[in-house]
Amino acid sequence: MVQISLHNAGKRFNKDWIFKDLNYTFEMGQHYALIGNNGSGKSTLLQVIAGYASLSKGTISWGDYDTNSIFQQISLAAPYLELIEEFTTIEQFEFHEKFKPLNSVLSHEQIIELVGLKAAAKKQIRNFSSGMKQRLKLALAIFSDTPILLLDEPCSNLDKEGYTLYQTMIAKYAMHKLVIVGSNDPQEYAFCNQQINLMDYKVEGNNN
């Protein structure tokens, strides 16, 4: 069972706490929004949940999984994640699936068409616009066959049509997952039924 539990969790860089004393449990099938001002720790917490970063204090657990295997249960889309620029769209899908299988509900070609990249299927990603790259990142994350979906500012670089595409993909293909969205844009997390304001876990000054 996948259940993400944080106990007295805190993360700091040097002497500055990003968040501290966070106690929370994320349940399978629920949808959560991490909100708060810039610098409140939304991206940092998502990286901790994904197992990419460690806590400075407290603990995190992933139910039946540990830090060595949890990556197989999680997919993540974030502005700071890089695609392989030399790959074509098709090659990126094939490479991705070597490490994390995609949901079989749609073929690679159908997913690529769905996200509006059919004409660019054989083009190198280095030639993509920032919006095209974001569509590809979202497709790889949402269609990965994982129970947990983490989304950090998922509509970065997307136009109005891209926002609509994102909302459609979430509604049709991700509502059964545990979804956590880090965002200050209500359009990105409107489907979430719970919110965690990380400003509630800020520490003033350099407390130990």
Task: Tell me how far CA of residue 165 lies from CA of 39, 114, 127, 207, in angstroms.
Answer: 28, 8, 22, 44
Taking the C-alpha atoms of 143, 172, 65 and 201 in order, what is their torsion angle to the nearest 10 degrees? 110
How far from each other are the two terminal CA atoms of the chain, in whole angstroms?
35
Q: Specify the length of the chain in residues.
A: 208
pLDDT at residue 180 is higher than 90: yes
Dihedral through CA 120, CA 121, CA 125, CA 127, nearest 10? -20
Torsion of CA 177, 183, 189, 192, to 10 degrees: 60
State the DSSP code for 11: E
Q: Could you give the dihedral angle defined by the CA atoms of residues 169, 189, 68 and 81, in that order, rounded to the nearest 10 degrees?
A: 70
Q: How confident is the model at residue 179 (pLDDT cuts 50, 70, 90)?
A: very high
Task: Provide the whole-model pTM.
Answer: 0.94
Average pLDDT over the chain reads 93
List domains and CATH numbers for the chain: 4-201 (3.40.50.300)
- For 115-174, write each residue's pLDDT tens digit: 999 999 999 999 999 999 999 999 999 999 999 999 999 999 999 999 999 999 999 999
